[in-house]
């Protein structure tokens, strides 16, 4: 996966049957969050940080901070994967 230094927007269907929500994704370069050099992204909506996600391995994401359920983490992570292609 290519690491991109700039923030970007993704749309994710969190609640099935409702309109997708748009999140701003901000790459984070913070050694205190990950010592193994993993890709870390801050997930924000309306300027509020909802979660910080770490890319573990292809199609596998871990939530470092926040209160999203794992299905939402997976959906947001998949959208990040798709965006970064």
pLDDT at 35: 57
Query: 41: closest CA among 22, 59, 68, 63?
Result: 63
Give ∠ CA 35-36-38 in degrees, rounded to 5.
105
pLDDT at 43: 97
Continuous segment of H or E residues that includes residue 65: strand 60-66
CB atoms within 10 A of CB 34: 17
pTM of the complete model: 0.84
Residue located via tokens 């748009």: 22
pLDDT in tens, the chain (85 residues): 444 568 999 999 988 888 999 999 999 976 666 556 678 999 999 999 999 999 877 778 999 999 999 999 999 999 999 998 7
């Amino acid at each position: 996966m290519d690491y991109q230094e700039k923030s970007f927007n993704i749309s994710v269907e969190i609640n099935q049957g409702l309109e997708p929500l748009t999140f701003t994704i901000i790459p984070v370069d913070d050694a205190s969050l990950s010592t193994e050099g993993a890709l870390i992204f801050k997930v924000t909506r309306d300027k509020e940080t909802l979660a910080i996600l770490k890319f573990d391995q292809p199609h596998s994401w871990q939530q470092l901070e926040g209160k999203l359920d794992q299905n939402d983490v997976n959906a947001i992570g998949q959208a990040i994967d798709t965006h970064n292609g």
